[in-house]
Structure formats: C-alpha cells, structure tokens
Amino acid sequence: MPSDQTTCRMMPGSKVIAGSECYEIVEELGRGGMGIVYKAIQSSIQRTVAIKILAIPATEDPQLLQRFLREGRLCASLDHPNIVKIFGLVADNNGVPFLVMEYLEGRTLADILSEQKTLDETTFLQVFDQILSALQCAHDKGLVHRDIKPSNIFVTTSGTTKLMDFGIAKSNLSDSTQQGLTRTGAIFGSPGYMSPEQCSGAAVDERTDLYSVGCVMYECLVGSRPYSGDHPLEVMYKHINQQMTTTAEIAIPTHSGIVCKALAKEPDMRYNSADEMRNDLHTGPEKQPQTRRGKSAQFRISRGGIGALLAGALVLSVGIYLIPLAKDNQHHETHSARQLYKLGSNVIYRTYTATSTEGVELRRQALNYFERAVKQAHKENNINLEADALLAQETLRPEAFAKDGESIYKKANSLYVRGNRSAPAHTVSILSLARWYLRHGRPQEAIASAKDALALLRITPAYSLKHIHTQSANVLCAMAYCAVKEYAQADRYFELAIKGASTATHADIRALIHTKTIYASSLRDEQQYQKSSELIKQVIELYNRSEMAIDREQQLAEPDHQAQASYENQRQLLKEDDQRQLVRLNETLFQNDHDLKDQDR
C-alpha cells in the first residue's frame, strides 16, 4: 500500500501486504471523514473481510492517525453480537496501519431510509432493541460513541443490526491516549444527530448517545430528522435552543413518549441508561419522565423562535415539578412564585405530545401560571424570577410582544439589573430588545442594545451559550450598521463574528461579501476609487473562502444521496451566480482604475 500519496484510494485487485499475510482488494464499500472501507479477501484462509484504511496519509494528520489507532483498540475491547467485530489492527510492509473487520452483507440504515423513508413497526423494534443492547455494552466499558447516526448502523441480510465506527468515541475512564483527541470543548459528531451538550462542546456521557438514538428513532418513524437547516451550524443551534413542540407525526403513542424523553434538552431529563430505554421500547414509557439519580429535572425553555413554543436564544434552566394539573385549583389555591413557574413549565412540557386542540388549552393554562408567577414573584421580591416569568410569555403572547416588546424587554432588563443577574437570561433579553429595534426600523437603538449585550458578555463567566450569544451580538451590530449605511463599522463587526467562530460558515462569509460590496459601491459614489478597489479585491478573495466553506459543510453533513444532491445543486447555483458577480466586480475594478487616472489628470 503506497504511503506517500495524497490519497489512499485502492483499486480492485490491489494487494495489501502485512508480513506473511496478504489482503486482496475486491471493491470499495464506503468512506467517511476518517477512513475508507474495502471488501477484501484474506489470502491465507480465504476469508472475506472488510479492511479500513486512513483516508489520507498518516504523515499529513498525526491526530487522525491517533484516532484511527484508538478506534481499533476500543473496538477490540468490545465483544458484543451487535457491534462490528475487529479481527486485528495491523500495519502493511510500509508501516501504514489498517483495521481488519468482519465483512457484513446488507445495507446501512441510511441506505434503507433513503429508499423507504420510514421503518415498519417490526423492523423498528428489532433495530433499536439491538442498537440499545450494543450501546449498553459500550457504556458499561466507559465508552461514549458520540456519532450515532443511520450510516453507522448496519442491518445485515439475516436481520442482525450492527453498530459501527467508534472513530470519535470518548472514554469516560482514565485513558492517556485520548488527551487532546476527545477533550471537553472540542466538538465532534454529525450535526443532524448531536445532543445539545455535544453541540456546545460541553462534557458528554452516555446520555448523549441516547439523545442521538432518539434523533434516529424520530427519523425512522417520521421520515425526516427532528431538526434541519441550511448549514450544519444552524442545525446545531436548533439542537441547543429549539424545543420539539410536537411528536404528533409519530403514530404510535408509546414510541412518541420514548422519542420525546430521549430528545430532552437537559441530560437529566433523558433515560438513565440504554437498558432503561430498551425496556420502555417493549413495555412503554412511564407517563412522566423521571429524573436521573435523584436530581431535580432540568428543562430548557427558549424564547424568540417562530412556530416553536418558547424557542429561540434565551435558555432558562428551571426544575419541573411533575404535579398533575387536576390537583391545582387555579383560583383558590395559593402557590409560591417558584411553584407557579414550575407548573407553567410542566404545562409546556405536556404540549409536546398534545393535539392542536389540546395545545391551545394548554398554552392558555401555561400563560395563566406565568402571569400569576409574575405577580407572586413581585410580592415575594423575587426579582430575577419575575423577569424570567415575564419573558417566558413571549411565544404565548406574540401580539403583545410584537406591539409592546420594547417596554416588556426594558422592564425585564431593569429587573435583571436590580437582581444582579449577569447571564444567560439577562444577556439574551438585551439581544431580544436589539432584534426588536431592528425589526421596527430603529437601527441606532439596535446598535446600542447589541453593544450593551457585548459589554455584559465580556464580564460574564463562561456558560454553554456564551460563544453563540457573542456571535449573535456581533452580527446584530453589523446588520444595524448596514441599515444606517455605516458599512465600515458593519464590516468590522462581521469580521469579528467570523473571527470568533471556529470556522466561518458559508452564511457568515456571504453576509460579509454583501457588506463589503455595498461599502465598496458607496466609496465609489464618494469618488474614493482606490479604497473601493481594495475592498473589491477582498470580496473576490472571499468568494473563494465561501466555496471552501460549502465544501467543509458538505463534509460535515450526513453522507446520504439526498444531502449530496442538495449540496451539489447549491454549489452549482452559487458558482453560476459567483461568475456573474465576479464579472461585475472586475468591470468595476477596471472602471475605478480609469476614473482614478482621470482624477489624477
């Protein structure tokens, strides 16, 4: 096997020699971000195997090599009928490592879903019974898979389901080999199936895998992923912030309850173990989700999203007291502000599995609780809770917030200041006010509010969404400056947003292109031809970055035919538009040069 090429693609008939053993390549079976898998014949015993080699030479990415070697060691430690078996981790005569695995005949779950969209009841139960059994084995060994998705689930022709690809698995046991490879804060996984804590780079445990299983279950039952978007970062943002408002598309109530519990934003609200989830798969879940290890359940309520109940950027961590509403007489019983707030949160949770008719009544009840919580918190001088309960009404009273949002947000902000609350609720409350100003044609006030949020973020201790809120504030500043035609300032804040991101998204770069182009045009109108040309040259360079960002996002996306076709179509349309724009930009450069000479004369 050549080790000095830029790609390690093997052709049918090629041979991999490792000592006295020879593996003859038959065909390529598939490829992912780390390796390529081939069907091969092990010559000494004429056994059909699958071999996995690195997608790029090890010398080009030492960390990739370490993850590859680590995957072999981890998989070899797992002995379970529903986990792909590793026969050995060996190196060819050039020192290039590869995994020798059992060869499986059948299809990945991704292939099955691309053909038939959903699974029938019998197949669904068989697949997830075996996957959860495999995960329990891995979790018992202290391993978190972190990349559960349809393309890593294989269904053999005999009906056996196999869990594959432990390439980015994390060990919760002591393991010096994983330092720097699976550190907290690094984000690994496939955006369509990542848990909120995984998306934000926080610490993960086995409950992260159970969230991913819930995503795959949802897709198998509904025919689409629970969250989708134009690019991976948008999907990850939704995993963190956007609550599942309904699982009505799932016809079987038992499965609906399991998926709803698995997709809880807070890990404490999910299943304790794969075995517990597997048991519910056969017996049905309890009516209310149970907390983990005696802790109070945590539930995120997000504000600002349209069409999703309390969805958006504000995350309020509140405990849910699972108290039946029938026991509460809304007009005669007295509750503390905290109890009322938790009762309102409990009603919101119930709307996720309610019909549309029931949902209207439940929203009315939730609004009643939150309104009472505001009044009671005022009486109890619980200032922060008063603000929380006030803002929790946003999607319950959209007309009021659309009309009187300024006064409502200002009141909440003043309460947070009095209560000395720094984040995250106060921060995003200020950002919500900035968005309100921008929507209502008041960009200067939007700028002031967004800058207030940035100032607060600078003195706020780290929390899971601080990075995202900082990016939002920078983008809001940029958009507001665009609205007042202060393009140099807009450019500056867009640059900050991109610089603050680990990788600039295609949408970020396009926003920057748009801003710089308008700015260049305004400079030309002011006869500053030299500066206009400098900006245009920057825009031309940004077009190349935009194309690279699409490639990067395509690599992160789930490698199914539909996603591939979507990206290829998007890439082609953008390429055609880019060509037209680049022609215009070059024409402007020529005109600037001509006008600059005239100006000199």
Query: Which of 86, 103, 120 is at the close of a domain?
Result: 103
Whether residue 596 sits in one domain with residue 558: yes
Q: Which of 568, 565, 558, 567 is nearest to 109 (CA)?
A: 558
Number of domains in the chain: 3
* Three-class secondary structure of residue 43 per DSSP: coil
Whether residue 267 sits in one domain with residue 220: yes
Is 506's pLDDT higher than 80? no
How far apart, in Å, are the Cα atoms of 521 and each of 544, 577, 585, 593? 21, 19, 10, 14
Q: Work out the pLDDT band at 67, boundaries 50, 70, 90.
A: low
The 8-class DSSP code of residue 201 comes to: T
pLDDT of residue 131: 95
Calpha distance 23→476 (Å, rounded)? 57
> Residues 293-322, buried b or exposed e (16+ Cβ, 10 A)?
eeeebbbbbbbbbeebbbbbbbbbebbbee
Whether residue 203 sits in one domain with residue 66: no
Whether residue 176 sits in one domain with residue 34: no
Inter-residue contact 560 to 114 (CB < 8 Å): yes
Residue 442 lies in a domain: no
Residue 76 lies in a domain: yes
pLDDT of residue 162: 93
Q: Which of 192, 322, 343, 166 is nearest to 263 (CA)?
A: 192
Whether residue 177 sits in one domain with residue 32: no
Whether residue 158 sits in one domain with residue 54: no
Using one digit for the tens of pLDDT, what is the confidence trace for 203-238? Answer: 788 999 999 999 999 999 988 899 887 777 778 878
Residue 556 lies in a domain: yes
Active site residues: 147
* Three-class secondary structure of residue 40 per DSSP: strand
Residue 485 lies in a domain: no
**Mean of the pLDDT values across residues 100-127?**
91
Q: Work out the pLDDT band at 351, boundaries 50, 70, 90.
A: low
For 542-577, the DSSP string reads HHHHHHHHHHHHHHHS---HHHHHHHHHHHHHHHHH
Whether residue 193 sits in one domain with residue 178: yes
Q: Is the dihedral of CA 189, 192, 193, 196 positive or negative?
A: positive
First vs last C-alpha separation in the chain: 66
Is 130's pLDDT higher than 90? yes
Residue 322 lies in a domain: no
Highest mean pLDDT among 5-9, 381-385, 544-548, 553-557: 381-385
* pTM, two decimal places: 0.48
Query: Which of 103, 138, 172 is at the close of a domain?
Result: 103
Is 269's pLDDT higher than 50? yes
Query: Which of 70, 88, 103 is at the close of a domain?
Result: 103
The 8-class DSSP code of residue 267 comes to: G
Q: Which of 505, 587, 562, 543 is nearest to 223 (CA)?
A: 562
Q: Which of 215, 68, 207, 105 is nearest to 149 (CA)?
A: 215
Could you count the other beta carbons within 10 Å of the beta carbon of residue 18?
19
Q: Work out the pLDDT band at 559, boundaries 50, 70, 90.
A: low
pLDDT of residue 203: 77
Calpha distance 303→306 (Å, rounded)? 9
Inter-residue contact 457 to 470 (CB < 8 Å): yes
Q: What is the CATH number of the domain that holds 76?
A: 3.30.200.20
Q: Which structural domain, as residue segments, surrounds residue 530? A: 507-601
Strand 21-31, strand 35-42: pairing: antiparallel
Whether residue 148 sits in one domain with residue 113: yes
Whether residue 262 sits in one domain with residue 207: yes
Q: Work out the pLDDT band at 241, boundaries 50, 70, 90.
A: confident
- Please state which of the ranges 6-10, 270-274, 497-501 shows the lowest mean pLDDT: 6-10
State the chain's mean pLDDT as an integer: 76
Residue 352 lies in a domain: no
Whether residue 134 sits in one domain with residue 46: no
Residue 312 lies in a domain: no
Could you count the other beta carbons within 10 Å of the beta carbon of residue 575?
12
Inter-residue contact 33 to 555 (CB < 8 Å): yes
Q: What is the CATH number of the domain that holds 112?
A: 1.10.510.10
Whether residue 188 sits in one domain with residue 89: no
The 8-class DSSP code of residue 423 comes to: S
State the burial class of residue 105 (Cβ atoms within 10 Å of its Cβ: 0-12, 13-18, 19+).
exposed
Highest mean pLDDT among 283-297, 373-387, 522-536: 373-387
Inter-residue contact 526 to 590 (CB < 8 Å): no
pLDDT of residue 245: 56
Inter-residue contact 154 to 37 (CB < 8 Å): no
Whether residue 170 sits in one domain with residue 38: no
Six-digit token string for 567:
């990206």
pLDDT of residue 65: 66
Residue 571 lies in a domain: yes
Could you count the other beta carbons within 10 Å of the beta carbon of residue 153?
25
**Mean of the pLDDT values across residues 3-8?**
43
Q: Is the dihedral of CA 428, 430, 433, 437 positive or negative?
A: negative
